[in-house]
Each structure stands twice: as C-alpha cells, then as structure tokens.
Amino acid sequence: MSYQYYHSNLHAVLVSSYEDLKAFLIRKFGCQLLAEDVVQETWLRVNQLAEPRTVAHPRAYLFKMAANLAIDHLRSEKARKRHISVESAPEDISNGMPLPDRVIDYQQRLAILRRAVDELPPRCREVFLLHKFEDCTHAEIAERLNISRNMVEKHIIRGLAHCRDRLQQAIQ
C-alpha cells in the first residue's frame, strides 16, 4: 500500500466522518470548541504521519486518535489552570480581594448573562429566574405557573443552553 493511498484513504474517511466525529467528541467531552479543535488537530496529525501503515478500520482509528487528542488537551488545560491558580494565589490572598482583571472579566460575563436572560422568551425567562434566583423547585414552579414539571425542566434546559451559548460566543 502506498503512502499516498494511506493518506488519501484516511483523509477520505476523515472528511466523510467529520460531523460524526465532531458529534462524538461533543457527546464525550461536552464542548463544541474542544471538538472542533480536536477534529482539526486530528487532520493535522494525519497529514504528519510519516510512514504508511495498514489500518484495518480507518474510521475507528480516527475516532480513537481524536479521543486521545481530546484527553491530552484536557489534561494539559487542567495542568495549565493549576499552574495559573498557584501563581496568582499570593495576590488574591494578600488582601482578600479579587484581582482587577478578574473583576472586569466577571462584570463582562455578568452583563452577557443579563442580556442572554433578557433574550429568552417570556415564559422561559420566568421559569429560569424562579429556579435560578428564587431557588424554587421544579414542582413549585410547575404549580405556581400551572404548567407541567416536564415543561419546567425544558424551560430551564433551554435557558441554561442559551446562556452557555452566549458566553461561548462572547469568548470566541
């Protein structure tokens, strides 16, 4: 089997499996940005393979490669966060106040969340606010608004997803 065939075969499988691979990574790790980055990195790794090898199941090979790359990424991110928190700890502890850049970051995120909540449909916003800010249970909200508990859960999930999406869009 030639080098060109090996690469074009893996590329063809990667192209045809792109959406499936991305969906798999989102389900497994819960982050669309990570999934997109890992699929791109998988593409780069396939391009960097120096020696042709026979791969009996190229799709399974690519999914395993992508899962391993995602795990490596998460591990390095976790290590980076530990390193950052250790470095910034003395400044935070010294006077008990958060650093000014963190205050600004929190204020910006709060403004984004306020706008996101305002964008929700009225009933969804009402359910979301009752649950998150008045600590009402699903049963209490259902009774209070005369809707099913299932509908309460749907509104809360929709509100959380919308807020998460808005924060992710702002970070990009």
Range of the domain at 68: 3-85
User: Which of the two residues, 121 and 90, has the higher pLDDT score?
Assistant: 121
Of 56, 85, 114, which one is at a domain's C-terminal end?
A: 85
**pLDDT tens readout for residues 130-151:** 998 888 899 999 999 999 999 9
| pLDDT reading at 3 higher than 50 | no
**pLDDT tens readout for residues 8-33:** 577 788 888 888 888 888 888 888 88
Asked whether residue 91 is assigned to any structural domain, the reply reads no
Q: What is the pLDDT of residue 143?
A: 95
What mean pLDDT value characterizes the chain? 81
Asked whether residue 93 is assigned to any structural domain, the reply reads no
Q: What is the SS3 assignment for the chain? A: CCHHHHHHHHHHHHHHCHHHHHHHHHHHHCCHHHHHHHHHHHHHHHHHCCCCCCCCCHHHHHHHHHHHHHHHHHHHHHHHHHHHHHHHHHHHHHHCCCCHHHHHHHHHHHHHHHHHHHHCCHHHHHHHHHHHHCCCCHHHHHHHHCCCHHHHHHHHHHHHHHHHHHHHHHHC
Of 52, 85, 118, which one is at a domain's C-terminal end?
A: 85
Domain identity same for 103 and 155: yes
Q: What is the pLDDT of residue 6?
A: 46
Domain identity same for 119 and 76: no
**pLDDT tens readout for residues 22-80:** 888 888 888 888 888 888 888 888 877 766 566 778 888 888 998 898 888 888 887 77
